[in-house]
Amino acid sequence: MGSEDAPVTAAATAAPGRRGGGARPAAKGFVPTAKGMVPTAYGVQRGGRGMAVARMQSVFQNDILKYLVAGALAGMVSRTIVSPLEVIATLNMCSASPPLVASNATKQLGARAATAAAAATTPAARTAALSSSSPSTLAQLRALFAKEGIRGFFKGNGANCLKVAPTKGIQFLVFEFLKRRILASRTIPAGVPAAGDGDNGDVAPSPPPPPAPITALERLFAGGTAGMAAASLCYPLEVAKTLLTAHPESYSSVGGTIASVVRTQGPRALFRGLSPTLVAMFPYVGLEFMVYEQLKLAYTARFIESKANLDKGAGTQQQAAISVAAMLLMGAVAGTVAQTVCHPLDVVRKRLQLQGIGGRPVVYRSMVGASMGIVRGEGIGGLYKGLRPCYWSVLPSASVSYLVYERAKAMMGLTSAR
């Protein structure tokens, strides 16, 4: 997420000595107070946990809009780039049989697969039959272009951008906020006893150690919570995006889609599939944020070790050393790990969203029931339908998303808690 810039150290000030009116030298990065030496490197100017939290929150609140904008830009740019692959992935996940976007040759291939699947005696055999004969991602892209032209590659992308802009903005915002709260909860000691209370009053007290960095599990928690918060607030837009992608002949705009769903199925239909979404968002966003930041920390540490002559405080030099290629690779790895773990829940969510629409029967009543029904009817492989095009979509999407976020954050002068 954020750049791992070294914290800015405030100028140390001198305090009157206890004897002789002399000045007590202050350690770099610390300010002498009545409670002892208090660190300034983490944004604290006076002693006490309340002041630390207040200052950190004040700085953060001034940048709320910037974090939202940086996250929104990252989401919109990345999703537009991979829109064709996301259309194919959505069509695969929403159908138990090969998606009907094929040319005549591909339709014949799908028909043979369906025949072989019907003759199979077990769910696993049916899934194997469908998978072995299903058209490739490239073939589906060609068929989609032949059927709908260039517009077919971007159907639902307006709704997708309208959904992903606030979603990504909220994710990054909440993630940064929670990281700051985690650090604030343990950063500021109540006070460090002054050393040299005897005759040697000019001896500076030993500064308290800096706080421990945020752990991987804490990043997972912060990211997962951010994902759930964003999903809850933006879920109706997710439903509209899915419907515009799966049924462009029936829906033409985000507002019209939402109004149509409310009119025909009631407001609750806008939140159909929310439970598996929330269950999926915690590990998905949590894993993605955690893996990305841990990879970035490891890369940064390795770079510092190999460049021991660099000044420890050269945060801007350190950030500049992380190449675009390295950022893209770290984002791709993070997105791939998260997608692999959470793809089954994504399939269940999309199946629940599309029930009762476009002639589809209402078969499942719950997330667990949908999962079991898919496994019974299609085998375990049914929970991984669309994973291949999802990989092709996630790799560039996650890579570009983090790169754009980092660059936008740097341009706006934002930093991230460690």
Mean pLDDT per 10-residue interval, the chain, length 418 residues? 43 42 45 46 43 55 86 92 83 63 48 51 48 68 85 81 91 94 72 49 59 89 95 88 80 87 89 83 94 92 61 48 87 94 87 77 84 89 85 87 93 84
For the chain, state the CA radius of gyration: 27
Give the pLDDT of residue 14: 40
Contact 67, 173 (CB under 8 A): yes
Give the pLDDT of residue 215: 93
| Packing angle of the helix pair 64-81, 157-187 (nearest 10 deg) | 140
Give the pLDDT of residue 390: 82
Amino acid letter, residue 308: A
Give the pLDDT of residue 398: 92
CB atoms near residue 163 (< 10 Å): 24
Compute the distance between CA of residue 286 and CA of residue 338 in angstroms, rounded to an integer: 8
Q: Which run of H or of E encompasses 166?
A: helix 157-187
Give the pLDDT of residue 277: 81
Give the pLDDT of residue 189: 52
pTM for the model: 0.65
Strands 36-39 and 23-24, sheet pairing: unpaired
CA dihedral for 381, 140, 354, 275, sign (positive or negative): positive
Give the pLDDT of residue 134: 61
Contact 78, 398 (CB under 8 A): yes
Tally: H helices and E strands in the chain: 15, 4
Give the pLDDT of residue 52: 52
